[in-house]
Structure formats: C-alpha cells, structure tokens
Amino acid sequence: MDELRVWNVVRTDAEIFAGYNAELTSGTGLVSRWGFNDGSGTSAVNSIAGAPAATS
C-alpha cells in the first residue's frame, strides 16, 4: 500500500480513477491522507492539517 485516503463524501468511479495514481493532498471531502513516504519509524504523517497521525 502506497497511500491511504479517507473521504467524507461519495466519490464517483471517474473521480476515483482520475486520482488513482496521483498524490492528492487536498480536495473537497478529503479528511485524512497518509502517504507512507517517511521511510522509517512507527508513525505516518497525515497530510491534512489537524488530522491524526497513524501509529503502529
């Protein structure tokens, strides 16, 4: 898994397909996004301001 996004809106098939290989860090309804690009450690930074980090 390269990236995890959480949305609070319903997205169409076309919207999902358009963003499939893109590194999205903003958008209407995007409430959390972890890019897993940190390289090492036990937490992943959330790209959305005010949203929680992920920890193992």
Minimal CA–CA distance to 5: which of 39, 41, 51? 51
Predicted local confidence at residue 42, as pLDDT: 83
Cβ pair 56, 36 in contact under 8 A: no
Residue 54 has pLDDT above 90, yes or no: no
Q: 1-51, pLDDT tens digit by residue?
A: 788 999 999 999 999 999 988 888 888 999 999 988 777 778 888 888 888
What is the value of pTM for the model shown?
Answer: 0.76
What is the greatest pairwise CA distance in the chain? 35
Q: Which residues pair with 34 in a beta bridge?
A: 4, 46
